């Protein structure tokens, strides 16, 4: 077992409990149920659906689809790393659990009604959306951070996201129903900026644990397929009810279908023996959902969505194959999950309409993100040294015997008792 200096025993519990207690106090002061009386207009992502139906639970099935994407989709997609699966799905759960509480506060602080934030299903959907930015960024730095750094990143990123979202929606009046820009591109570029700040020269030639094995790739496909299936919900949850919502579902469904064919084709084409690469299949097949996001509810017709999808599938796969290594070697951005290829470029593609503005925005946001990266770099937070990257046993209890004889199950590899070597 490698030695380490990343003892979380006081700093992590203290930070986690402090954040939770502060959050509870703020909820005690400001947060109530959205039951009964009047609903005020709010500029948050999701339109209140009270005009459509008096049932407060109308959006609940849509909420659960988004919820599954956040906790299963993102969580398992990142389990491709062969020795980092506990962190991938476990820390995903932690960051999203904290992020949704904090996101709900910060998204609605602008829209208080008699000094209170009123929780409804559509606000819970938006809170889940805000955590998506953090989970995307987590993917960029996956394997190279400590839980303390990540909680701090969650706090900072969601704050910036909510401010950004408020400005973009309220003041710029931008329409981005699938959040190609406001969530995907934002999360990707935030993550890449942080990755840049946390650049590790020692990992220039990779790391023996930065890879997958057969079973970790299978676990990751659970994440991929859930994201793929429920993306129509992600893109339509915040659309206006009726025809716009139906269009958002249909456009996403077809964009993803076309993207899948394109990703498979391109993956085969860029390998000299024509073999498929699981990294492409796990990620690039989803790019269509990201790319169609901004105009998901618009009248682009199914074939229009498919054109977007086929483009995204090709670009994303090519990015994984050729661009990610260049980003690492030339720009010092070590993007573990390749979020730039799934959320970054396809997000930009999606927001093409507002791209000039987006570039300017990203430039100033990147400055903020760079500062956040510097905050995260503070040694106190217990970032693991190079050789301990991509290794669960730094932060988790993992059985030692497994590493030698995982399948010799009848020969004393009990995690509690070492009955034999």
Unique residue bearing structure tokens 């998506």: 132
Q: How far is the CB of 260 from a second copy (least distance, A)?
A: 4
Q: Closest separation between CB of residue 235 and a second copy, Å?
A: 13
Contacts of 255 (CB under 8 A, 6+ apart): 288, 289, 291, 292, 305, 306, 308, 309, 312
How many angstroms from the chain centroid is the CA of residue 287?
A: 13
- Of 172 and 406, CB closest to a second copy: 406
- By CB under 8 A, residue 109 contacts a second copy: no
Subset of 147-166 contacting a second copy (CB under 8 A): 147
37 contacts a second copy (rule: CB under 8 A)? no
Q: Calculate the alpha carbon distances from 364 to 141, 346, 351 in Å.
A: 21, 20, 17
Closest CB to a second copy among residues 91, 365: 91
What would the two tokens of residue 174 be?
A: 């931008």
State which residue, 262 or 348, has the beta carbon closest to a second copy.
262
Determine contact, residues 323/335, Cβ cutoff 8 Å: no
CA nearest to 294, candidates 365, 348, 338, 253: 348
Beta carbons of 378 and 372 less than 8 angstroms apart = no
CA distances to 35, 174, 285, 371 from 182, in Å: 29, 10, 21, 20
Binding mask 218-257 for a second copy (x = CB under 8 A): xx-xx-xxx-xxx--x-------xxx-xxx-xx--xx-xx
Angle between helix axes 121-140 and 147-166 (nearest 10 degrees) is: 130
Q: How does DSSP classify residue 185?
A: I
Site string for a second copy, 260-299 (x = CB under 8 A): xxx-xxx-xx-xxxxxxxx--x---x-------------x
Residue among 44, 47, 77, 82 that touches a second copy (CB under 8 A): 82
Q: Between residues 20 and 386, which has the closer beta carbon with respect to a second copy?
A: 20
Least CB distance from residue 161 to a second copy, whole Å?
A: 18
**Interaction between residue 51 and a second copy (CB under 8 A):** no
Q: Does 202 bind a second copy (CB under 8 A)?
A: no
Quick count: other Cβ atoms within 10 Å of Cβ 170?
A: 14
> Shortest gap between Cβ of 258 and a second copy (angstroms)?
6
Rank residues 168 and 257 by Cβ distance to a second copy and give the closer one: 257
Q: How near is the Cβ of 63 to a second copy at its closest, in Å?
A: 9
Minimum CB distance to a second copy smaller for 168 or for 290:
290
Number of residues that bind a second copy (CB under 8 A): 142
335 binds a second copy (CB under 8 A): no
How many other C-beta atoms lie within 10 A of the C-beta of residue 116? 14
User: Does position 413 bind a second copy by CB under 8 A?
Assistant: yes
Contacts of 30 (CB under 8 A, 6+ apart): 105, 109, 112, 115, 116, 117
Backbone angles phi, psi at 37, to 5 degrees: -65, -160
The verdict on 120 binding a second copy (CB under 8 A) reads: yes
User: Taking CB under 8 A as the rule, does residue 41 contact a second copy?
Assistant: no
Within 141-213, residue ranges assigned H as helices are 147-166, 186-197
Distance CA(391)–CA(272), nearest Å, equals 32
Nearer residue to a second copy within complex by CB, 85 or 187:
85
Could you say which residues in the range 7-26 bind a second copy, by CB under 8 A?
7-10, 12-14, 16-17, 19-21, 23-25
Under rule CB under 8 A, which residues in 176-195 are in contact with a second copy? none
69 or 185: whose CB is closer to a second copy? 69
**The binder of a second copy chosen from 45, 46, 47, 67 (CB under 8 A):** 67
Angle at 18 between CA 85 and CA 396, to 5 degrees: 20
Of 93 and 355, the one with the shorter C-beta distance to a second copy is 93
Q: Interface with a second copy includes 72 (CB under 8 A)?
A: yes
**Which residue, 302 or 332, has its beta carbon nearer to a second copy?**
302
Distance of CA 191 to the CA centre of its chain: 10
Does 388 sit near a second copy (CB under 8 A)?
no
Q: How far is the CB of 267 from a second copy (least distance, A)?
A: 9
Q: For residues 255 and 251, give the distance between their C-alpha atoms in angstroms, rounded to a whole number.
A: 6
């Amino acid at each position: 077992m490698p030695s380490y200096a990343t003892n979380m025993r006081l700093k992590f519990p203290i930070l986690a409990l402090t954040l939770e207690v502060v959050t509870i106090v703020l909820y005690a002061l400001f947060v109530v149920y959205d039951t009964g009386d009047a609903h005020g207009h709010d500029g948050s992502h999701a339109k209140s659906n009270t005009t459509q139906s008096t049932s407060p639970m109308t959006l609940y099935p849509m909420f659960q689809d988004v919820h599954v994407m956040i906790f299963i989709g993102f969580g398992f997609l990142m389990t491709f790393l062969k020795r980092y699966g506990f962190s991938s799905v476990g820390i995903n759960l932690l960051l999203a659990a904290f992020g949704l509480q904090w996101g709900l506060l910060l998204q609605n602080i602008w829209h208080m009604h008699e000094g209170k934030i009123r929780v409804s299903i559509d606000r819970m959907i938006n809170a889940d959306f805000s955590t998506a930015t953090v989970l995307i960024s987590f993917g960029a730095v996956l394997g190279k951070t400590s839980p303390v750094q990540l909680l701090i990143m969650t706090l900072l990123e969601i704050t910036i996201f909510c401010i950004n979202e408020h400005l973009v929606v309220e003041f710029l009046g931008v329409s981005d129903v699938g959040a190609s820009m406001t969530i995907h591109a934002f999360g990707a570029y935030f993550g890449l900026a942080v990755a840049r700040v946390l650049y590790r020269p020692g990992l220039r030639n990779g790391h023996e644990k930065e890879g997958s094995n057969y079973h970790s790739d299978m676990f990751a496909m659970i994440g991929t397929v859930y994201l793929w299936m429920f993306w129509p919900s992600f893109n339509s949850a915040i659309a206006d009810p009726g025809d716009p919502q139906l269009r958002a579902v249909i456009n996403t469904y077809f964009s993803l279908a076309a993207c899948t064919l394109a990703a498979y084709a391109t993956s085969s084409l860029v390998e000299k023996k024509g073999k498929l690469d699981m990294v492409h299949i796990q990620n690039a097949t989803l790019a269509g959902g990201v790319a169609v996001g901004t105009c998901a509810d618009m009248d682009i017709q199914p074939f229009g969505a498919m054109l977007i999808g086929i483009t995204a599938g090709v670009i994303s796969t090519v990015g994984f194959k050729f661009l990610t290594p260049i980003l690492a070697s030339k720009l010092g951005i070590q993007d573990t999950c390749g979020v730039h290829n799934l959320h970054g470029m396809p997000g930009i593609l999606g927001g093409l309409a507002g791209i000039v503005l987006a570039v300017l925005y990203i430039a100033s946001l990147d400055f903020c993100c760079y500062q956040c990266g510097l905050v995260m770099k503070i040694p106190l937070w217990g970032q693991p040294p190079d050789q301990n990257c991509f290794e669960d046993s730094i932060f988790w209890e993992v059985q030692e015997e497994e590493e030698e004889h995982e399948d010799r199950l009848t020969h004393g590899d009990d995690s509690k008792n070492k009955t034999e070597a």
